[in-house]
Amino acid sequence: MSEPDISMARMREELDSLRRQVAELQQSREEHARVALALRQQAELLDLAHGAIIVRDLGSRVLFWNRGAEETYGFSRQEALGKITHSLLRTVFPQPLSAIEEELLRRGRWEGELTHTTKDGQEVVVASRWALRRDDQGQPEAILEINNDISQRKRAEEDLRHTLERLDETVRERTAELVATNRALTEEIAERRRVEEELRASERELKAKTEELKEVNSALQVMLGQQERYRAGMEDQMLSNLRMLILPYLENLLRSRLGPDQRAQAEIIQSNLLNLVSQFTKRLTAANLGLTPKELQVANLVRDGKSTKDIAELLRLSPRAIVFHRQNIRRKMGLHNHKGKNLRSALLSLA
């Protein structure tokens, strides 16, 4: 083969090689385009996520900052990219950072609660989940951090905790009050039982004394009956003596020749002696009318049918005085408002 033929063959080979390289380059560009499109789509999806999604390198410098992170912390993507997250957000960790990173390298993930400070200085509490991304050789190359703001939930939990503490304190206080009340009620019940027992004892004692008083009363009734019979016997004896020893002589005296005044005085003596033991005088006195001795004399004579003039002559008083005594007797007997009721009839009703 001549030299020009060799050159042409070599050029064809180089041309074919260039075509293959161009085809591979075109394929690589298309692959990169697909990858870039997929990455853009994934980034757009990450921006749609509600939580804060951060991708940072092993030095904690921000590589990706989604819209949720912007809304949560107030820093724009341009302000956050390349910044160290722990310094940017003034992160407060629940344990030393070295311990967290050790667990992340060992397990490939970590979960916990972090306290961050937003751009305007407000503190937020987030539930944070970290995932370690490794390259094809298994070496760590990036950290995916997803943070969800739980500040409102934490405040609600804190409020609930305070409420439960207050409720627990209220329950303890109420329990103490109920215990004290129960103790007081127990003591009151014991006191009432003691009082009831004393009352039962007093009732038994009262019952015994009542029986004793009944017996004493029965004895007194017997004694009063005996005294009444004794008194009645004495009255009968006095009346008998009066009739046998005095009244016969007084009747003889009245049958003798006496002057008018002497006869009147003797009749008064006779009337008073008879009234002394009569049931009328007893009942008149027992009526508790408050009659004076003179009013008793006038009442006896009115009952016997004596006129005001006769009574005045017998008692040696003026007719006006007798009228005065009659009015007093009517008033004391309750007849002063009954003008038509006869005094003698009222007195006879007591006889």
Q: What is the mean pLDDT of the chain?
A: 81
Is there a contact between 273 and 242 (Cβ–Cβ < 8 Å)? Answer: yes
| pLDDT surpassing 70 at residue 337 | yes
Going through 35-135 in order, the beta strands assigned E by DSSP cover 52-56, 62-65, 109-117, 123-134
Over range 146-160, report the average pLDDT: 89
State residue 102's pLDDT score. 94
Other beta carbons within 10 Å of 195: 11
Q: Is 158 exposed, middle or buried (0-12, 13-18, 19+ CB in 10 A)?
A: exposed
Confidence of residue 39 (pLDDT cuts 50, 70, 90): very low
133, 112 in Cβ contact below 8 A? no
Q: Would you give the end-to-end CA distance of the chain in angstroms?
A: 193
pLDDT value for 347: 79
Above 90 in pLDDT, residue 213?
no
pLDDT of residue 6: 63
| 200 vs 10, higher pLDDT | 200
Residue 261 has what pLDDT? 78
Instruction: Flag whether pLDDT at 43 surpasses 50.
Output: no
Note the pLDDT tens digit of each residue in 155-187: 888 888 888 889 889 888 888 888 888 888 888
Residue tagged 């005088």 (tokens) = 281
Phi, psi dihedrals of residue 127, rounded to the nearest 5°: -90, 110
**pLDDT reported for residue 38:** 42
Q: Is the pLDDT of residue 69 over 80?
A: yes
Binning the chain into helix, strand and coil, the percentages to the nearest 5 are 70, 10, 20
The CA–CA distances, whole Å, from 307 to 296, 322, 345 equal: 15, 10, 14
CA distance 344 to 155: 108
